[in-house]
Amino acid sequence: MKKFALWQRSKDGSLIRVEEASLELEEDLESWIENDPDLLQKGLKIVGRQLHVEAGPLDLLAIDPLGRWVVIELKRGDLDRKTVAQALDYERCFSALSAQELRSKLADYLTKHRLNLDELLEQRGAIESLDPKQRQILVVLVGAGAAPGLEDFAKHLYEKFKVPISMVLFQVFEPARGDLLLVREIREIETTLPSKDELKSKVSLSAMTTQYGTQELLQRAVDTAKDLGLHVRPWKTSVMFAPASQGSRCLFTV
């Protein structure tokens, strides 16, 4: 990640450099994210931890505000190609789970955290994603840094296999007095060309808006966003509106 340095201003006006601490406690990071998923992305809901799939235990599983499933893989140090390969293997196994297998694997976690999967998916317009053919999956890798060229590698994988991969990097500081400070950097792969899924999604979205008579309203939203220079991104049953500078950050979804 971009390396940051921090200074703390003391009461007498002098500056004290804040020492950097190492991000070694993978389990701590997992718990922090589980307790506050906003660390990764606003509106993320964790629905599974250490979920066993054929490739091994998946660190965290979440659903994003657009109803997409998010496979989260954590690494103690820097992210590298092995981390990406491992996460894609988890993603492959997760994408193959039937609705029944998925429900069964998530049951204990959901009960423990008093979450209702159907309600959650209904609210995010993604109840159909229980069906593996309809499931949209993102991969988020979390670590302290990224190996050189990893972003290009992730972009290449996206272009080949259409699995969006994001990286969230944390740097930890330990002030002489007070709690730890976390600095976060988000690296997302820009997906400028519509994927086959997105093209298909336009078709199903169009059918849905026709069915509910909301075509004109949606068009109005798209026109307004285009006038304002916002990024418009269609998904299977929704359209996401994002800032022009970062097409994967959701301002609002219709």
Partner 1 sequence: MSVETFAEFFPLPRAAVIERIGREGYKKFTEREFTKFLDGVKALVLSARASSDAKKEA
Rule CB under 8 A: which residues touch partner 1? 42-43, 65, 123-124, 217, 220-221, 224-225, 227-228, 230, 243, 245-246, 249-253
Contact 142, 58 (CB under 8 A): no
Smallest gap from residue 42 Cβ to partner 1 (A): 5
Of 14 and 211, the one with the shorter C-beta distance to partner 1 is: 211
Smallest gap from residue 232 Cβ to partner 1 (A): 13
Residue with tokens 């931890």: 49
DSSP 8-state secondary structure symbol assigned to residue 144: S
Of 156 and 226, the one with the shorter C-beta distance to partner 1 is: 226
Of 54 and 122, the one with the shorter C-beta distance to partner 1 is: 122
Of 193 and 228, the one with the shorter C-beta distance to partner 1 is: 228
The helix/strand/coil state of 86 is helix
Report d(CA 92, CA 96) in Å as an integer: 7
Residues in the chain: 254
DSSP 8-state secondary structure symbol assigned to residue 237: S
Smallest gap from residue 125 Cβ to partner 1 (A): 9
Of 43 and 175, the one with the shorter C-beta distance to partner 1 is: 43
Contact 74, 62 (CB under 8 A): no
Smallest gap from residue 127 Cβ to partner 1 (A): 14
Smallest gap from residue 196 Cβ to partner 1 (A): 28
Smallest gap from residue 225 Cβ to partner 1 (A): 8
Helices (H) and strands (E) in the chain, counts: 7, 13
Locate 232 and state its tokens.
């418009």
Contact 141, 166 (CB under 8 A): yes
Of 65 and 143, the one with the shorter C-beta distance to partner 1 is: 65
Of 100 and 245, the one with the shorter C-beta distance to partner 1 is: 245
Smallest gap from residue 188 Cβ to partner 1 (A): 13
Q: Where are the alpha helices (DSSP H) in the chain?
A: 26-35, 81-95, 99-112, 117-123, 150-161, 196-212, 215-228
Q: Name which of 142, 110, 112 is nearest 29 in CA terms.
A: 142
